Amino acid sequence: MEYHENLHSNAAKEGLKGRKLQKAVENFTWNITILKGQADLLKHAKNEVLENLKQIHYAALTCELGRMNVGAGESSRGRRSLEVIPEKAAGDEEAAES
């Protein structure tokens, strides 16, 4: 916002006068408003992602999927892993049902 305080003098130094100066100030103000809105959206998205990661972490701990438990003498054969589950095509599901 430091630049915004000196915008009129900087624009005048660059040779902008009258209507062009007013239009430049309006455009700058509009762009700053848009950027502030986008920054707020990013901040909210970041907070939501952090909350989701916390929930995933606690769910993994509840299901005993932590790294320390793997290979501790227990059979991990019956446990589910966090690997990607391949998606089935629509045709595969219909064939499996019949």
3-42 pLDDT, tens digit per residue, is 667 787 888 888 888 988 889 889 988 999 999 999 999 9
**What pLDDT is stored for residue 33 in this prediction?**
93
Interval 81-93 mean pLDDT: 65
State the chain's mean pLDDT as an integer.
78
Q: What is the pTM of this model?
A: 0.52
Residues contacting 82, CB < 8 A, separation 6+: 60, 65
Quick one: 82 exposed, middle or buried, by C-beta within 10 A (0-12, 13-18, 19+)?
exposed
**66: its two tokens:** 């932590």
**What pLDDT is stored for residue 45 in this prediction?**
97
Q: Does residue 87 register a pLDDT over 80?
A: no
| Alpha-carbon dihedral sign for residues 70, 71, 72, 77 | positive
Q: Does residue 54 register a pLDDT over 90?
A: yes
**9: its two tokens:** 């003098």
Torsion angle of alpha carbons 62, 66, 71, 74, nearest 10°? Answer: 0
Q: Does residue 56 register a pLDDT over 80?
A: yes
Total structural domains within the chain? 1
Rounded CA-CA distance 26/4 in Å is 11
Identify the domain containing residue 68 by its residue range: 2-97
Q: Does residue 69 register a pLDDT over 60?
A: no
